[in-house]
Amino acid sequence: MDLARVAVVVAVVVVALAVAATMRRRRQADAPTQVRHQLPEQLDRSDFPRPDAPWLVVVFSSTTCSTCADVVRKAQVLESPEVAVVEASYQEQRALHDRYAIDAVPGVVVADRDGVVQASFLGPVTATDLWAAVAGARGDDAPSC
């Protein structure tokens, strides 16, 4: 009889542990889904040089990123009286990265006079795609450089 009682106690303990583990898994909330790696849809033009220029191209970058340097070179060609081009590197302009929640680089935004982003790119971009985006936003056949 003692052996039977021990078996019953062991079975009850095993069932109790299984129930407790199941309840703990059900109570544990999943981590919230975080939207990441998005570029802003609106900029405050006063945060950047030449707020009076009709168009603004901002390259959010990092000085430790070789891809960023390539994107900056491609964007700088767009500089003109109509288009202000700004490099905002994390190391030199961290406040801008924080303000616009930039968490990945390179990121390029093309904004109009009101700061509304008309085009954006996250990651490497070809010169053709970048130039076409600026031209398309401006309503040109080709950007004037």
- Residue 24 domain-assigned? no
Residue 26 forms part of a structural domain: no
Give the other-Cβ count within 10 Å of 16's Cβ: 10
Helix, strand, coil shares of the chain, percent, nearest 5, are 40, 20, 40
- Residue 49 main-chain phi, psi, to 5 deg: -60, 155
Q: What averages of pLDDT result for each successive group of 10 residues across the chain (145 residues)? A: 76 81 70 74 96 97 95 96 96 95 95 96 94 87 48
Task: Return the pLDDT at 18.
Answer: 82
On whether residue 25 sits in a domain, the answer given is no
What pLDDT, on a 0 to 100 scale, did the predictor assign at position 17?
82
pLDDT of residue 6: 75
What is the domain count for the chain?
Answer: 1
- Residue 121: what pLDDT? 96
Q: What is the DSSP string of 86-105?
A: EEEETTT-HHHHHHTT--SS
CATH number at residue 83: 3.40.30.10
